[in-house]
Chains A and B, each alone.
Chain A
Amino acid sequence: MSKAREAKAAKIRQLMETEGDAVGTSTRGFNQGRYDSVQTLDDYEGLKAEAREIKEDAIERLPELLGRLRETIEENGGTMYIADDAADANRYIREVCEDEEAERVVKSKSMTSEEIEVNDELEAADVDVVETDLGEWVLQVADETPSHIVAPAIHKSREAIADLFNETFEPAEPLETAEELTMFAREQLGELIEGADVGMTGANFITADTGTMALVTSEGNARKTAVVPDTHVAVAGVEKVVPTVEDLQPFIELIGKSGTGQDITSYISLLTPPVESPTVDFDDPDTPITETETDRDFHLVLIDNGRLDMRDDEQLRETLYCIRCSACSNVCANFQHVGGHAFGGETYSGGIGTGWEAGVEGLDSAAEFNDLCTGCSRCTTACPVNIDIPWINTVVRDRVNRGDVSEVDWLVEGLTPDEEPGGVSLQKRFFGNFETAAKVGSLFAPVSNWAAQSSVSRDLMERFLGIDARRELPSFQRETLKDWFDARDSRVQDATRTAVLYPDVYTNHVQVERGKAAVRALEALGVDVVVPDVRSSGRAPLSQGMIATAEDHAHDVYAGLAEYIDEGRDIVVIEPSDLAMFDSEYEKFLPEKSFQRLSENSYEVMEYIFGLLENGAPADALQTVDGAEVAYHSHCQQRTLGLEGHTEAVLSDLGYDVATSDVECCGMAGSFGYKSEYYELSMDVGSELREQFQTDETRDRTVVASGTSCLEQLDSLLRRPSRHPVELVAPRR
Chain B
Amino acid sequence: MSTGTVATFEDSLERLEVGWTHASPGEVATVLREVCDDPAVGVELPYDGVELPSWVNTDPTPADLRDANAGITAAGIGIADYGSVVVQGTPDGVEPVSLFGDLHVAVLRESDIVSGMPEAFEWLGEEFRTGHDSAIIATGPSATADMGALVKGAHGPKDVHVVILDE
Q: Select one of A210, A220, A263 contacting B99, CB under 8 A.
A: A220
Q: Say yes or no for B69: interface residue by CB 8 A criterion.
A: no
Q: A153-B146, A282-B62 are in contact. Are A264 and B134 (CB under 8 A)?
A: no
Question: Could you tell me if B145 and A186 are in contact, using CB atoms closer than 8 angstroms?
Answer: no
Question: Could you tell me if B60 and A289 are in contact, using CB atoms closer than 8 angstroms?
Answer: yes
Question: Could you tell me if A158 and B147 are in contact, using CB atoms closer than 8 angstroms?
Answer: yes
Q: Say yes or no for B93: interface residue by CB 8 A criterion.
A: yes
Q: Say yes or no for B95: interface residue by CB 8 A criterion.
A: yes
Q: Select one of B90, B120, B147 contacting A185, CB under 8 A.
A: B147
Question: Could you tell me if B89 and A271 are in contact, using CB atoms closer than 8 angstroms?
Answer: yes
Q: Say yes or no for B37: interface residue by CB 8 A criterion.
A: no
Q: A249-B118, A265-B139, A276-B133 are in contact. Are A219 and B125 (CB under 8 A)?
A: no
Interfacial residues of chain A within 135-186, with CB under 8 A of chain B in the complex:
135, 138, 151, 153, 157-159, 161, 177-179, 181-183, 185-186
Q: A219-B154, A249-B117 are in contact. Are A182 and B137 (CB under 8 A)?
A: no
Given the complex of chains A and B, what is the CA–CA distance between A76 and B155 in angstroms? Answer: 29
Question: Could you tell me if A275 and B133 are in contact, using CB atoms closer than 8 angstroms?
Answer: yes
Question: Could you tell me if A266 and B156 are in contact, using CB atoms closer than 8 angstroms?
Answer: yes
Given the complex of chains A and B, what is the CA–CA distance between A221 and B82 in angstroms? Answer: 21
Question: Could you tell me if A227 and B95 are in contact, using CB atoms closer than 8 angstroms?
Answer: yes
Residues of A within 8 A of B47 (CB): none
Question: Could you tell me if B154 and A277 are in contact, using CB atoms closer than 8 angstroms?
Answer: no
Given the complex of chains A and B, what is the CA–CA distance between A220 and B157 in angstroms? Answer: 8
Question: Could you tell me if B137 and A288 are in contact, using CB atoms closer than 8 angstroms?
Answer: no
Q: Say yes or no for B143: interface residue by CB 8 A criterion.
A: yes
Q: Select one of B62, B81, B125 contacting A285, CB under 8 A.
A: B62
Digitize A366-379: 1 where CB-to-B-CB distance is under 8 Å, 0 elsewhere: 00000000000000
Question: Could you tell me if B117 and A227 are in contact, using CB atoms closer than 8 angstroms?
Answer: no
Question: Could you tell me if B91 and A272 are in contact, using CB atoms closer than 8 angstroms?
Answer: no
Q: Say yes or no for A134: interface residue by CB 8 A criterion.
A: yes
Given the complex of chains A and B, what is the CA–CA distance between A81 and B133 in angstroms? Answer: 21
Q: Select one of B121, B133, B151, B157 contacting A248, CB under 8 A.
A: B121
Residues of B within 8 A of A284 (CB): 62
Q: Say yes or no for B2: interface residue by CB 8 A criterion.
A: no
Q: Select one of B124, B142, B155 contacting A190, CB under 8 A.
A: B155
- Chain B: CB-nearest residue to A250: B117
Residues of B within 8 A of A253 (CB): 117
The contact sample of 12 A-B pairs, CB cut-off 8 A, is A158-B149, A182-B153, A224-B156, A246-B125, A272-B132, A272-B134, A277-B90, A277-B94, A278-B92, A285-B63, A289-B93, A290-B91
Given the complex of chains A and B, what is the CA–CA distance between A278 and B94 in angstroms? Answer: 9
Q: Select one of B134, B141, B153 contacting A275, CB under 8 A.
A: B134
Question: Could you tell me if B147 and A181 are in contact, using CB atoms closer than 8 angstroms?
Answer: yes
Digitize B127-142: 1 where CB-to-A-CB distance is under 8 Å, 0 elsewhere: 0110011111111111
Q: Say yes or no for A49: interface residue by CB 8 A criterion.
A: no
Q: Select one of B84, B93, B142, B147 contacting A178, CB under 8 A.
A: B147
Interfacial residues of chain A within 428-445, with CB under 8 A of chain B in the complex:
none
Q: Say yes or no for B148: interface residue by CB 8 A criterion.
A: yes
A side interface size, CB within 8 A: 71
Residues of B within 8 A of A135 (CB): 144, 146
Given known contacts A186-B155, A275-B133, A277-B90, what 16 new A-B pairs fall within 8 Å (CB)?
Answer: A26-B145, A153-B146, A181-B147, A185-B154, A218-B143, A219-B146, A220-B157, A223-B155, A228-B96, A245-B125, A249-B118, A267-B138, A267-B142, A286-B63, A289-B96, A290-B91
Question: Could you tell me if A278 and B91 are in contact, using CB atoms closer than 8 angstroms?
Answer: yes
For B61, B95, B147, which residue has the most chain A Cβ atoms within 10 angstroms?
B147
Given the complex of chains A and B, what is the CA–CA distance between A183 and B146 in angstroms? Answer: 12
Residues of B within 8 A of A288 (CB): 59-61
Given the complex of chains A and B, what is the CA–CA distance between A263 and B121 in angstroms? Answer: 17
Q: Select one of A138, A263, A269 contacting B136, CB under 8 A.
A: A269
Q: A161-B148, A276-B134 are in contact. Are A218 and B129 (CB under 8 A)?
A: no
Q: Say yes or no for B167: interface residue by CB 8 A criterion.
A: no
Q: Say yes or no for A270: interface residue by CB 8 A criterion.
A: yes
Interfacial residues of chain B within 93-109, with CB under 8 A of chain A in the complex:
93-96, 99
Question: Could you tell me if A220 and B154 are in contact, using CB atoms closer than 8 angstroms?
Answer: yes
Digitize A588-618: 1 where CB-to-B-CB distance is under 8 Å, 0 elsewhere: 0000000000000000000000000000000
A569 CB to nearest B CB, Å:
47
Question: Could you tell me if A269 and B134 are in contact, using CB atoms closer than 8 angstroms?
Answer: yes
Residues of A within 8 A of B34 (CB): none
Q: Say yes or no for B65: interface residue by CB 8 A criterion.
A: yes
Question: Could you tell me if A275 and B89 are in contact, using CB atoms closer than 8 angstroms?
Answer: yes
Q: Say yes or no for B122: interface residue by CB 8 A criterion.
A: yes
B95 CB to nearest A CB, Å:
4
- Chain A: CB-nearest residue to B137: A268
B156 CB to nearest A CB, Å:
3
Digitize A113-138: 1 where CB-to-B-CB distance is under 8 Å, 0 elsewhere: 00000000000000000001111001
Residues of A within 8 A of B95 (CB): 223, 227, 275, 277
Given the complex of chains A and B, what is the CA–CA distance between A605 and B81 in angstroms? Answer: 42
A396 CB to nearest B CB, Å:
31
Q: Select one of A227, A266, A269, A280 contacting B142, CB under 8 A.
A: A266
Residues of B within 8 A of A209 (CB): 128-129
Q: Say yes or no for A32: interface residue by CB 8 A criterion.
A: no
Question: Could you tell me if B136 and A189 are in contact, using CB atoms closer than 8 angstroms?
Answer: no
Q: Say yes or no for A287: interface residue by CB 8 A criterion.
A: yes
Interfacial residues of chain B within 38-83, with CB under 8 A of chain A in the complex:
59-63, 65-66, 81-82
Residues of B within 8 A of A416 (CB): none
Q: Say yes or no for A111: interface residue by CB 8 A criterion.
A: no
Question: Could you tell me if A263 and B96 are in contact, using CB atoms closer than 8 angstroms?
Answer: no
Q: A157-B148, A186-B153 are in contact. Are A277 and B134 (CB under 8 A)?
A: yes
Given the complex of chains A and B, what is the CA–CA distance between A159 and B148 in angstroms? Answer: 8
B101 CB to nearest A CB, Å:
11
Question: Could you tell me if B139 and A181 are in contact, using CB atoms closer than 8 angstroms?
Answer: no
Given the complex of chains A and B, what is the CA–CA distance between A273 and B147 in angstroms? Answer: 31
Question: Could you tell me if B91 and A224 are in contact, using CB atoms closer than 8 angstroms?
Answer: no
Residues of B within 8 A of A266 (CB): 138-143, 156
Residues of A within 8 A of B135 (CB): 270
Residues of A within 8 A of B99 (CB): 220, 223-224, 227
